[in-house]
Chain A
Amino acid sequence: MLWATLIMSLREVRKNALRSFLTMLGIMIGVGAVIAMVTIGEGATQKVRSDVGALGENMLVVSPGAARRGPERTAGNPFQKDDVEAIEREVTGIKALSPTAQSNTTVVVGNQNWPTSVIGVDEGYFEVRGYKIEMGRSFSEVEAASGTPVCIIGKTVRDNLFPGAMPMGQRIRVKQVSCLVVGLLASKGQAAMGGDQDDVVLMPLRAFQRRIAGNNNISSVYLQVEDAQATSSVQAQVEDLLRERRRIQPGAVDDFNVRNMQEIADTMSSVTASMTGLLGGIAAVSLLVGGIGIMNIMLVSVTERTREVGTRLAIGALASEVLLQFLVEAVVLALLGGILGILFGLSLSYAATQSLSLPFVISPGTVAGAFAFSAAVGVIFGYLPARKAARLNPIEALRHE
């Protein structure tokens, strides 16, 4: 019976193809909007996560100076080698670590020059930040220990200083020091908060300190935590250790700060998630409007087909069977609208994610949810018209003009 009713409903939908389509349009746009919002939002969230992940997975950055922003910000003393050694020795749960020193300066090749960040690093830096060497090699142990002026450059630096040429074996001038290019970093692209991660020149920390900075200061320490769960415990250990080493009184403000990339990622994705929720909510309202459209058309349809209902009742249809028929028709309309809406929303979000260069992630839960929701819209908004049909008096319905 249900099957026969379904066939009858599909026939009914096809008979009034244009009207059916216009009725579905409301649901289609509603579902399409929900799907598009959620899919784009999902893509944005993933993008934020992977961008922050690209800065370095499970990364902590320890820098001198209080975390507080504003004019009161205190410039703490830079770290020294023994600070780094103490962290390495005493803090548990660290996978890799690298002290760094950095200078923003202009590097020169021939008559080309380019302002960039020159960073002195240890071997661990590559692992913590997730940099890979695309061409050439990393620093040798001898180079690292002796402070030989060698460097590895990022793609942006290479594109600007050696357009179309092979950088390896060439020399670049950093301040007064001539540096041999031994490697090229694989591109990492834009960071989540802006900033080109390929616009760097890396050299051994020792060489940077001796030849460029002229001191033994360490401006930041990069840490990679073994397990994401342990990030805050490692952060606390580092903070306790440094507070002790820097003799900070209990209650006094730290003159250093530990930044947790995971926290930043969480904040940013929660912002995107709430945006998605908000937009999804607005889209859900259009779904409601679509449902009202279905109810409207079904009410008109019941009035129009009063004689048909009378005939059906006369030839022996039960009121419940008439109810079921109109309900199934409404659900069929809503579901077809829902299916079209899912396709519409997915293609819309595909286009949007492509043009915004976000990842295109289909969330099966959302699709299934949209499908179930449109069926529910059909049942809820189809019930009233269907009940109206089922309650018709057959004698009056047959007399209806």
Chain B
Amino acid sequence: MAELPRADGGAGDGPDHRTPIVEFRRVEKIYGEGESEVRALDGVDMRIERGEFVSIMGSSGSGKSTAMNMIGCLDVPTSGAYLFRGVNVCDLDQDQRALLRRHFIGFVFQGFNLLARTTALENVELPLIYRRVPAEERKRRALKALDLVGLSSRAGHTSAKLSGGQQQRVAIARALVTEPSLLLADEPTGNLDSARKVEIMELMVQLNREHGITVVMVTHEPDMAEYGTRTIVFRDGKIISGNR
């Protein structure tokens, strides 16, 4: 079993709270070789502090999805360094990155990605299973998370019986049930109508303000991006605005 990576090599109890939660240092990501080489990220420097709500915008192919995957420790840079909570992700193997995700990152996807024919409660419990939380506590915490997104009355419903907005709220509950330090949302409102969009965005703002969860959200809708405290815009693998 891989061990959870620590910022200081294991001596302390976690990184200094002043370190940014996300720090890119001249990050490059190159796909393919030679003629077909694509520079998805071209020497990006970026810092996201704890407690921020950052919206990432950019047209398709701008590198925003690559950046998102990298922030979520799903991908590693070709060159440069990515420090997540002060830990250089480039030095980690697949399992160690999985453990970082398990303990610090919650994911919300455009397509919700709930398990089919599985109740809302079981979906929310899933990340806790991987964290070896005992069954009773798992259920208690999952119900609490569902309560937070206003769906405790639908705990026993399978995803097929929930509306799109409700499904996304279950997905958000699943992401925050582990009390992550970073919530990563990839076009969370992309599949929803405008009323639901507002609901979801207000929920995300609430999580950010009241629970201190850092939120990084990719969106292509400017009015959604405005819910954030800052908007970073990508173009051709570079940040063109919003960087500090």
Which A residues lie at the B interface, using CB under 8 A?
1, 4, 8, 11, 15, 307-308, 310-321, 394-395, 398
Contacts and interface: CB of A to CB of B under 8 A. Distances in A.
Contacts of B130: 312, 315-317, 321
B101 A314 contact: yes
B129 A314 contact: no
Given A315-B107, A315-B126, A316-B130, A307 B113 contact: yes
Given A307-B113, A394-B74, A316 B118 contact: no
Nearest to A313: B98
A154 B132 CA distance: 76
Given A314-B107, A316-B130, A318-B2, A398 B99 contact: no
Contacts of B135: 4
B109 A1 contact: no
A4 B129 CA distance: 7
B85 interface: no
Contact of A15 (B107, B117, B174): B117
Given A11-B118, A308-B115, A310-B113, A395 B98 contact: no
B21 to A, nearest CB: 17
Interface of B: 1-2, 69, 72, 74-75, 94-95, 98-99, 101-103, 105-107, 109, 111, 113, 115-118, 122, 126-127, 129-132, 135, 174-175
A322 B212 CA distance: 32
Among A1, A315, A320, residue most surrounded by chain B Cβ atoms (within 10 Å): A315
A314 B74 contact: yes
B131 to A, nearest CB: 8
Given A312-B126, A314-B72, A315-B102, A398 B109 contact: yes
A304 B100 CA distance: 27
Q: Is the interface of A mostly helix, strand, loop or mixed?
A: helix
A395 B74 contact: yes
A312 B98 CA distance: 10
B117 A318 contact: no
A317 B98 contact: yes
Contacts of A313: 74, 98
Given A307-B113, A310-B113, A316 B127 contact: yes
Nearest to B184: A314
Of the candidates B102, B129, B132, B174, the one having the most CB atoms from chain A within 10 angstroms of its own CB is B129
B94 A398 contact: no
B94 A319 contact: yes
A401 B135 CA distance: 32
A334 B6 CA distance: 42
Contacts of A312: 126, 130
Nearest to B113: A311
B143 to A, nearest CB: 18
Contacts of B117: 15
Contact of B132 (A1, A8, A319): A1
Contacts of B126: 312, 315
Given A394-B74, A395-B74, A316 B102 contact: yes
A315 B74 contact: no
Given A312-B130, A316-B99, 17 more contacts: A1-B132, A4-B135, A11-B122, A15-B118, A311-B115, A314-B74, A314-B107, A315-B101, A315-B107, A315-B130, A315-B175, A316-B98, A317-B98, A317-B102, A319-B94, A321-B130, A398-B109
